[in-house]
């Protein structure tokens, strides 16, 4: 690659000036000088660095700063932090150097964006530890996560130049943590783009297929929209207010999830777009104007009464305000219409950042997001959670929609959708949750696991004799309730463990054995427990008795004691050992050198030759091969990216692999016979199992069969779709049918 330094210098200056032009409207006196200082430091620090694509590294912090300004709406402090976000992690500059030149806010944000260095103990995860560290800063200054989202968005936009295994890790980490976080902070545009980019880099054929089909239907869609909105425009013109009507296409990822969830082809996804009406209305008249426009829309088109969503009276937890209705168009298709004001639209697109602009005018948005941030702080205060437990708890609260319920005195409370009476009890107070024995919902007695619905009025019933138990964790959905129940259970375990410790010390004295770290390790190994707390708990509960302890003292090991369960195995050693075991029939090449090594096919996604796959180094079962679109891929790659290795199929042998097909159609005599003939006689495919259900003339069948590869499977699907009565044939994971 030929590098033209003069051209690069010009491009750096051009991008820097563009950033200043974007920021100019809100810069105070002296701000431009601070931004220039941050830019100069970043330029010098990254001067000899290039990205995988070959372009200068400085373009990355400049792009992140641009996203912060233009797409999120952040100010000077965020621009400075965005320009410096990688200097501590990747160069010789220290946080103390930044503190000398900028204020503590900048230092705190840059620190929150800097990854933790060093080795992590086994059972943890570098990604989870860094995510937790970043969120510690989030609880003090939300800008740290907004800049991180800008950083992640630019990384996803430039992921093309990264090696395949890194693309998979970054994309799955994005869908697992960052897209839900953008959703929760109300950054709808960023969330949508992150989801689409995830699909593009994990399942490009599907992404391209949906994108092409959207383009093909664009002209007819535009004609339809023009006809649809004309009578609405005529009606709104009578109101004498400024307005704008846009059509918003459904994102590729949301179309993909709908196709997958409802098991329908693209042609049957009717809500490919939504009509958005944006009104320029003063704050005090927002609500009345929105409802007047709703009345105009429903004068011309019949609404679906089950699809009215009023997020103006009760905004979503991420601050989203809008009035949604779905109406029947003249061509017989449902169309979603969204009605909102300019203020609501900016909040819907820019999320939390827009709060600063409107905080003096309305408190609804601030209070909803502040409640969520308060929950984050509560989660962060739990120091005894491992990083992985923390990420799991945190994720639990990200994508939950809310329902609105009332206390006995009529006070409105917002709780996550799917929350139970017990969740609600813990929302009120930990003591009420801990003593909850049931509830009255709308004056009717219900158990503690009763799921609450919009508009329910709840009264919690308590008893001083009630105590939390492990079962409670199965049906509560909120992070607050789960965390409090775990705390209460741990407190009980600690009390029992204290008693166990006294029993152990007393017994060891009788046997004249010193209680030290070496003894604890031997005890844990002998009784096969994972932690000291569990060991002492079992002694305190009497699960490990005095007789058991005596047997331990008398036990003489014949060989070396095995390592405790908590000690970290060397992932590299596992890989090296596996490379020594070669099987002739292997058809997967693994690792950077594309060697033939021993592996197992993951049962969760049943990969077959032709599928795009990756290898995952497990603790006890060697390397497992997963499809890149495996349901478990986001969690594996987001939390344990360091244990992911390259893998790809070769066509050395014609082996058979078990996979599943779902067949849907209209029932007729002889249909099952025709389907099985195509499979076993025409294509000579062996079936493992065949099951069909018929319901009022519609049949639904599941077939487990053995195929050679994805091309073989595609041929089979095409042949089955030609059978009279068969409407749709699709692949599914064998795991799902079990």
319 lies in some domain: yes
pLDDT-wise least confident of 14-28, 394-408, 636-650, 715-729: 394-408
pLDDT at 624: 87
CB-count exposure of residue 112 (10 Å: 0-12, 13-18, 19+)? buried
Average pLDDT over residues 288-308: 92
382 lies in some domain: yes
For residues 386 and 457, give the distance between their C-alpha atoms in angstroms, rounded to a whole number.
37
For residues 18 and 12, give the distance between their C-alpha atoms in angstroms, rounded to a whole number.
10
Average pLDDT over residues 489-505: 85
- pLDDT category at 561 given cuts 50, 70, 90 is very low
Residues 119, 183, single domain; the answer is: yes
For residues 379 and 388, give the distance between their C-alpha atoms in angstroms, rounded to a whole number.
13
Answer for the pair 613, 649: CB distance below 8 angstroms, yes or no. yes
- pLDDT category at 331 given cuts 50, 70, 90 is confident
Residues 495, 550, single domain; the answer is: yes
pLDDT at 581: 38
pLDDT-wise least confident of 113-127, 319-333, 447-461: 113-127
Residues 374, 306, single domain; the answer is: no
pLDDT-wise least confident of 195-199, 341-345, 651-655: 651-655
Which of residues 158 and 399 earns the better pLDDT score? 158
For residues 469 and 475, give the distance between their C-alpha atoms in angstroms, rounded to a whole number.
12
Residues 235, 185, single domain; the answer is: no
Domain CATH number, residue 196 = 1.10.3210.10
Question: Is the pLDDT score of 557 beyond 70?
Answer: no
Task: Give the pairing type, strands 334-341 and 273-279.
Answer: parallel
pLDDT at 6: 85
Average pLDDT over residues 542-555: 83
pLDDT-wise least confident of 393-397, 483-487, 655-659: 393-397
Q: Which of 628, 649, 670 is the last residue of a domain?
A: 649
For residues 474 and 489, give the distance between their C-alpha atoms in angstroms, rounded to a whole number.
14
564 lies in some domain: no
- pLDDT category at 543 given cuts 50, 70, 90 is confident
- pLDDT category at 118 given cuts 50, 70, 90 is very low
Which of residues 556 and 55 earns the better pLDDT score? 55
588-593 long-range contacts, CB within 8 A, separation 24+:
588/613, 588/615, 588/625, 588/647, 588/648, 588/649, 588/650, 589/647, 589/648, 589/649, 589/650, 590/615, 590/623, 590/645, 590/646, 590/647, 591/615, 591/645, 591/646, 592/645, 592/646
pLDDT at 366: 47
pLDDT at 63: 94
Residues 661, 513, single domain; the answer is: no
pLDDT at 389: 64
Residues 353, 379, single domain; the answer is: no
**pTM over 0.95, yes/no:** no
R_g of the chain, CA atoms, integer Å = 30
Average pLDDT over residues 127-137: 71
562 lies in some domain: no
724 lies in some domain: yes
- pLDDT category at 428 given cuts 50, 70, 90 is confident
Residues 644, 661, single domain; the answer is: no
565 lies in some domain: no
Helix, coil or strand: residue 412: strand
Range of the domain at 685: 657-737
Residue 201 CB neighbours (<10 A): 21
Which of residues 371 and 287 earns the better pLDDT score? 287
Residues 159, 254, single domain; the answer is: no
Residues 137, 247, single domain; the answer is: no
Question: Is the pLDDT score of 649 beyond 80?
Answer: no
Which of residues 252 and 621 earns the better pLDDT score? 252
The domain total for the chain is 6
Question: Is the pLDDT score of 651 beyond 60?
Answer: no
Residues 371, 438, single domain; the answer is: yes
Residues 619, 716, single domain; the answer is: no
Which pLDDT tens digit goes with each residue over 160-182? 988 888 888 889 888 888 888 88
Domain CATH number, residue 350 = 3.30.460.10
30 lies in some domain: yes
Residues 595, 453, single domain; the answer is: no
Which of residues 82 and 533 earns the better pLDDT score? 82
Q: Which of 313, 343, 361 is the last residue of a domain?
A: 361
């Amino acid at each position: 690659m030929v590098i033209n330094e003069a051209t690069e210098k010009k491009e750096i200056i051009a991008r820097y000036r563009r950033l200043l032009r974007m920021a100019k409207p809100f810069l105070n006196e002296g701000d431009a000088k601070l931004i220039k200082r941050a830019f100069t430091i970043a330029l010098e620090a990254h001067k000899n660095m290039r990205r995988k694509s070959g372009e200068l590294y400085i373009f990355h912090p400049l792009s992140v700063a641009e996203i912060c300004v233009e797409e999120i709406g952040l100010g000077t402090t965020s621009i400075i932090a965005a320009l410096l976000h990688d200097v501590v992690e990747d160069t010789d500059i220290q946080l103390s150097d930044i503190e000398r030149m900028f204020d503590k806010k900048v230092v705190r944000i840059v620190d929150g964006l800097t990854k933790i260095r060093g080795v992590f103990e086994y059972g943890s995860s570098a990604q989870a530890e860094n995510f937790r560290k970043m969120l510690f800063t989030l609880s003090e200054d939300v800008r740290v996560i907004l800049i991180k989202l800008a950083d992640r968005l630019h990384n996803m936009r430039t992921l093309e130049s990264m090696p395949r295994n890194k693309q998979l890790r970054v994309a799955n980490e994005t869908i697992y943590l960052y897209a839900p976080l953008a959703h929760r902070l109300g950054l709808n545009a960023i969330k949508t783009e992150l989801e689409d980019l995830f699909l593009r880099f994990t399942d490009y054929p599907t992404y391209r297929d949906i994108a092409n089909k959207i383009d093909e239907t664009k002209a007819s869609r535009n004609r339809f929209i023009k006809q649809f909105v004309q009578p609405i425009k005529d009606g709104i013109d009578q109101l004498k207010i400024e307005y704008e009507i846009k059509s918003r296409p459904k994102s590729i990822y949301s179309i993909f999830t709908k196709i997958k969830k409802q098991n329908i082809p693209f042609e049957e996804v009717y809500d490919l777009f939504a009509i958005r009406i944006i009104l320029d209305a003063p704050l005090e008249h927002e609500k009345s104007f929105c409802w007047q426009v709703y009345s105009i829309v429903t004068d011309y088109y019949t609404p679906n009464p089950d699809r009215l969503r009023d997020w103006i009276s009760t905004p979503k937890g991420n601050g989203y305000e809008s009035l949604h209705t779905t109406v029947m168009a003249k061509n017989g298709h449902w169309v979603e219409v969204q009605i909102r004001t300019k203020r609501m639209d900016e909040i819907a697109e820019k999320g939390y950042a827009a709060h600063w602009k409107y905080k003096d005018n309305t408190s609804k948005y601030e209070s909803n997001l502040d409640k969520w941030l308060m929950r984050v702080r509560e989660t962060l205060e739990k120091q005894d959670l491992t990083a992985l437990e923390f990420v799991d708890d945190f994720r639990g609260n990200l994508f939950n929609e809310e329902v609105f319920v009332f206390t006995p005195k009529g006070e409105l409370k917002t709780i996550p959708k799917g929350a139970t009476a017990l969740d609600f009890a813990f929302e009120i107070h930990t003591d009420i949750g801990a003593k909850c024995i049931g509830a009255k919902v709308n004056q009717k007695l219900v158990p503690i696991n009763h799921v609450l619905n919009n508009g329910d009025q709840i009264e919690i019933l308590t008893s001083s004799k009630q105590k939390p138990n492990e079962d409670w964790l199965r049906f509560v959905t909120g992070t607050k309730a789960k965390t409090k129940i775990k705390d209460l259970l741990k407190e009980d375990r600690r009390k029992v463990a204290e008693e166990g410790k006294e029993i152990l010390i007393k017994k060891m004295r009788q046997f004249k054995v010193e209680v030290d770290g070496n003894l604890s390790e031997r005890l844990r190994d002998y009784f096969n427990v994972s932690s000291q707390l569990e060991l002492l708990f079992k002694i305190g509960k009497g699960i490990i008795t005095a007789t058991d302890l005596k047997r331990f003292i008398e036990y003489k090991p014949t060989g070396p004691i095995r390592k405790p369960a908590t000690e970290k195995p060397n992932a590299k050693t596992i890989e090296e050992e596996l490379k020594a075991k070669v099987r002739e029939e292997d058809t997967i090449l693994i690792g950077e050198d594309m060697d033939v090594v021993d592996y197992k096919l993951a049962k969760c996604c049943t990969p077959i030759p032709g599928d795009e796959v990756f290898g995952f180094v497990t603790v006890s079962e060697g390397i497992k091969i997963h499809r890149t679109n495996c349901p478990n891929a986001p969690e594996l790659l987001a939390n344990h990216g360091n244990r992911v290795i390259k893998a790809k199929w070769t066509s050395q042998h014609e082996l058979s692999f078990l996979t599943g097909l779902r067949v849907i159609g209209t029932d007729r005599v002889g249909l099952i016979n025709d389907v099985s003939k195509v499979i076993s006689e025409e294509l000579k495919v062996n079936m493992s199992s065949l099951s069909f259900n018929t319901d009022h003339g519609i049949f639904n069948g599941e077939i487990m069969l053995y195929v050679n590869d994805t091309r073989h499977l595609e041929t089979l699907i095409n042949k089955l779709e030609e059978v009279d009565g068969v409407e749709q044939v699709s692949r599914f994971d064998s795991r799902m049918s079990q």
